[in-house]
């Protein structure tokens, strides 16, 4: 192992792929792996595995097991690997003298970013945060994408603790800021809402302009307290003297009309919920600021919904599931309830909410859960299932059909989830409650087979085939149909431990199941369907693409989500006339792939 100091100039010149998650490895030769140390994991434990897959450059902060078996690896030793990642990105940002839009707030950051991209991508070369990469790790990975062709950068930044935004500000250095909303998320980590607001606003320390809704009194106060009124570009539905005055908002069945009387602007958006209206106005105000003389109203009619964490799936017993098991605060709960209301087309379906304790309120529990109960009642929930000690303690506040449990395990053990039928069910919980255990039981399953198998025989066969191949040749093992009925997890775990390079499954839900069971190796999906894109990206699954329709669909989706170089596998038809690109399609296939940045080809194979 060769140990060196981290040279920001040289690293920036070489432009490696920055890697922080070993499961996201796509190009070993170009990857620089940062062994991040967190409260729950340590990236150093994955270094030898990445070395065996071809990675040769690592940023480390301490010794690790296997240092003596990676002789030609280059390790840059630093005091803190996360800080090193941020410093590299901050140095890289300084090389670009272009407009950079920084977005922060409690809600709406990702949607505003994605809609700005939809509105502007045909007129400027834009780099933006992939998906919701707004954390201490996600922001530097996003900014690292800036390149010599970039004309505009759009990056979101989120925080949960005091002091975090200062580090992100040095990385993003936005010239234009957008403050979306100030909600309750992470409030327990701040002494007051004012402290949290000022912390978020510090992203715009060096910005020329700050776009915000001045009807949010506290945000307006904090901007004035910072002495930034000279760079504020505000909008309002109340103050006619704001930079942009929203004179009318007219909701219709499937669209909303937003009028700006003194600017002589009227836009139509294909959404009617309050959150989408506010997000669209932020985008509108930015376009008015950047292009005051241009007409762009027609662009808003074509805005696409942004895929967030609200996954919709079919459940057992004629249920529809809306799965939001990522986080839980009152603002996102309101958005999710609005979403459920819009999806509730069949009025015979009961609206059911499965809700965990909300851990980020910063309010006195009694007052906070009274607010939650009022919201749930207002949104038309007919049956609430509350999970967590705080919800149990305040169950009397909820007037609808109700049941409460101290934890997820007690609810599952009760068996009451089997009684849910003919309902639209919103599953909304904080991560610690592991609500995925509930959704897995309520989802409709397509496969179920049981068989005993000799894993020793599988290991013997794998070794035998490897002995017949050159050392550099990789092996992909087919475990579709949940391991052909032999138990996908046990089989996959064995293959992963014994040196297989890839797994292949038929359907996305099979790959998801393997990921949830801890399988980290690359997984190929043989039959991709468009409705499964959310899970595909969330669980880092790699699809096989065999026709132009699916190729164009996944390219559109990666561009919509801000994903770059997502790995795909191309299947060619060389004579069997089944699935795969034909000889006549090759030129069009190559041109399509070369004209975009959303996907990259990991392998090509034929049948």
- Each residue of 334-345: pLDDT tens digit? 778 877 876 766
Residue 189 phi, psi (nearest 5): -90, 0
pLDDT classification of 360: cutoffs 50, 70, 90: low
- Mean per-residue pLDDT over the chain, rounded: 89
CA distance 355 to 464: 51
Average pLDDT, stretch 553-559?
93
pLDDT classification of 485: cutoffs 50, 70, 90: very low
Distances in whole angstroms, Cα of residue 185 to Cα of each of 95, 333, 422, 450, 577: 34, 11, 32, 44, 54
Give the chain's largest Cα–Cα span. Answer: 78
Any idea how long the chain is?
607
pLDDT at 416: 95
Question: Which DSSP category does 306 fall into?
Answer: P
pLDDT classification of 101: cutoffs 50, 70, 90: very high
Is there a contact between 139 and 133 (Cβ–Cβ < 8 Å)? yes
pLDDT at 325: 67
pLDDT at 595: 93
CA distance 103 to 209: 12
Does the pLDDT of residue 431 top 50, yes or no? yes
pLDDT classification of 198: cutoffs 50, 70, 90: very high
pLDDT classification of 22: cutoffs 50, 70, 90: confident
Going by C-alpha positions, the residue among 1, 191, 145 that lies closest to residue 77 is 1
384: left (phi over 0), alpha (psi -120 to 50) or beta: beta
Vertex 413: Cα angle to 407 and 414 (nearest 5): 95
Residue located via tokens 């599953």? 427
CA distance 235 to 216: 10
Vertex 460: Cα angle to 455 and 466 (nearest 5): 125
Is there a contact between 15 and 9 (Cβ–Cβ < 8 Å)? no
Average pLDDT, stretch 364-368?
88
Does the pLDDT of residue 562 top 60, yes or no? yes
CA distance 354 to 367: 21
Q: Is 454 helix (H, G, I), strand (E, B) or coil?
A: coil
Four-CA torsion 209, 214, 220, 223, nearest 10 degrees: 0
pLDDT at 455: 75
Going by C-alpha positions, the residue among 110, 133, 6, 119 that lies closest to residue 58 is 6
Does the pLDDT of residue 84 top 70, yes or no? yes
What stretches of 307-434 show up as alpha helix (H) in DSSP?
330-343, 365-378, 389-393, 408-414
Is there a contact between 32 and 19 (Cβ–Cβ < 8 Å)? yes
pLDDT classification of 471: cutoffs 50, 70, 90: confident
What stretches of 241-395 show up as alpha helix (H) in DSSP?
274-290, 297-300, 330-343, 365-378, 389-393
Residue located via tokens 């379906």? 349
What stretches of 252-329 show up as alpha helix (H) in DSSP?
274-290, 297-300
Going by C-alpha positions, the residue among 416, 602, 443, 412 that lies closest to residue 513 is 443
Going by C-alpha positions, the residue among 529, 432, 119, 522 that lies closest to residue 299 is 119
Going by C-alpha positions, the residue among 459, 454, 456, 451 that lies closest to residue 481 is 451
Going by C-alpha positions, the residue among 376, 307, 372 that lies closest to residue 337 is 376
pLDDT classification of 86: cutoffs 50, 70, 90: very high
Is there a contact between 548 and 577 (Cβ–Cβ < 8 Å)? no
CA distance 93 to 170: 9
Does the pLDDT of residue 246 top 80, yes or no? yes
Q: Is 345 exposed, middle or buried (0-12, 13-18, 19+ CB in 10 A)?
A: exposed
Does the pLDDT of residue 202 top 70, yes or no? yes
pLDDT at 459: 84
Does the pLDDT of residue 358 top 90, yes or no? no
Does the pLDDT of residue 487 top 70, yes or no? no
pLDDT at 378: 87
- What is the per-residue DSSP string for 208-257? SEEEEETTSHHHHHHHHHTT-GGGEEEEESS-TTSSEE--EEEE-SS-EE
Going by C-alpha positions, the residue among 180, 154, 160, 376 that lies closest to residue 275 is 180
CA distance 345 to 402: 23
Residue located via tokens 């559109």? 556
Average pLDDT, stretch 211-240?
97
Average pLDDT, stretch 98-127?
92
pLDDT classification of 307: cutoffs 50, 70, 90: low
pLDDT at 248: 96
pLDDT classification of 73: cutoffs 50, 70, 90: very high
The larger pLDDT score, comparing residue 312 to residue 221, is at: 221
- For residue 475 the two structure tokens come to 């092996």
pLDDT at 410: 95
Average pLDDT, stretch 64-68?
92
Average pLDDT, stretch 448-466?
75
Q: Which residues pair with 352 in a beta bridge?
A: 383, 425
Question: Which DSSP category does 444 fall into?
Answer: P
Distances in whole angstroms, Cα of residue 134 to Cα of each of 139, 156, 170, 348: 5, 5, 14, 40
pLDDT digits (tens, 9 = 90+) for 534-545: 889 988 999 999
């Amino acid at each position: 192992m060769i140990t060196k100091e981290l040279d920001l100039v040289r690293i920036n010149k070489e432009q490696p792929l920055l890697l922080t998650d070993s499961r996201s490895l796509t190009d070993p030769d170009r990857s620089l792996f940062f062994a991040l140390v967190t409260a729950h994991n340590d990236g150093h434990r994955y270094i030898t595995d990445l070395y065996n897959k071809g990675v040769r450059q690592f940023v480390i902060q301490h010794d690790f097991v296997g240092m003596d078996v990676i002789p030609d690896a280059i390790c840059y030793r630093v005091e803190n690997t996360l800080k090193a990642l941020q410093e590299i990105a901050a140095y890289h940002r300084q090389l670009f003298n272009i407009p950079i839009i920084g977005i922060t707030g409690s809600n709406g950051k990702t949607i505003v970013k994605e809609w700005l991209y939809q509105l502007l991508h045909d007129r400027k070369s834009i780099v933006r945060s992939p998906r919701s990469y707004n954390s201490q790790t996600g922001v530097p990975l996003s900014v690292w994408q800036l390149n010599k062709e970039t004309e505009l950068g759009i990056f979101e930044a989120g925080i949960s603790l005091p002091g975090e935004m200062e580090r992100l500000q040095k990385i993003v250095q936005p010239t234009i800021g957008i403050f979306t909303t100030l909600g309750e998320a992470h409030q327990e980590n701040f002494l007051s809402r004012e402290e949290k607001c000022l912390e978020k606003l510090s992203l715009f320390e060096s910005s020329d302009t700050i776009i915000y809704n001045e009807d949010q009194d506290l945000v307006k106060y904090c901007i004035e307290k910072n002495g930034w009124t000279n760079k504020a570009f505000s909008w309002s539905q109340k103050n006619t003297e704001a930079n942009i005055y929203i004179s009318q908002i007219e909701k219709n069945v499937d669209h909303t009309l937003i009028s700006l009387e003194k600017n002589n602007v009227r836009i139509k958006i294909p959404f009617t919920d309050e959150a989408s209206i506010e997000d669209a106005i932020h985008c509108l105000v930015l376009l008015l600021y950047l292009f005051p003389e241009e007409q762009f109203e027609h662009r808003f009619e074509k805005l696409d919904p942004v895929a967030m964490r609200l996954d919709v799936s079919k459940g057992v017993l004629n249920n529809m599931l809306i799965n939001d098991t990522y986080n839980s605060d009152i603002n996102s709960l309101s958005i999710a309830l609005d979403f459920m209301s819009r999806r509730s087309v069949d009025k015979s379906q009961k609206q059911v909410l499965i809700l965990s304790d909300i851990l980020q309120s910063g309010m006195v529990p009694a007052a906070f859960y009274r607010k939650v109960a009022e919201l749930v009642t207002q949104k038309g929930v007919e049956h609430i299932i509350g999970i967590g000690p705080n919800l149990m303690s305040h169950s009397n506040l909820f007037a609808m059909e109700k049941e409460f449990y101290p934890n997820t395990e007690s609810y599952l053990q009760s068996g009451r989830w089997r009684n849910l039928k003919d309902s639209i069910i919103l599953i909304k919980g904080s991560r610690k409650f592991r609500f995925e255990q509930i959704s897995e039981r309520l989802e409709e399953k397509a496969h179920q087979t049981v068989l005993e198998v000799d894993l020793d025989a599988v290991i013997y066969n794998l070794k035998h085939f490897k002995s017949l191949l050159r050392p550099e040749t990789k092996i992909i093992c087919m475990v579709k149909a949940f391991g052909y009925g032999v138990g996908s997890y046990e089989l996959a775990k064995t293959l992963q431990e014994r040196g297989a390079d890839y797994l292949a499954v038929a359907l996305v839900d099979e790959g998801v199941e393997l990921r949830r069971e801890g399988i980290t190796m690359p997984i190929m999906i043989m039959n991709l369907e468009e409705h499964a894109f959310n899970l595909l990206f969330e669980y880092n699954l790699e699809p096989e693409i065999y026709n132009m329709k699916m190729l164009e669909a996944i390219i559109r989706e990666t561009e919509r989500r801000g994903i770059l170089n997502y790995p795909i596998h191309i299947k060619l038809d060389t004579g069997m006339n089944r699935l795969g690109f034909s000889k006549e399609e090759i030129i069009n296939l190559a041109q399509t792939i070369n004209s975009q940045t959303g996907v990259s080809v990991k392998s090509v194979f034929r049948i």
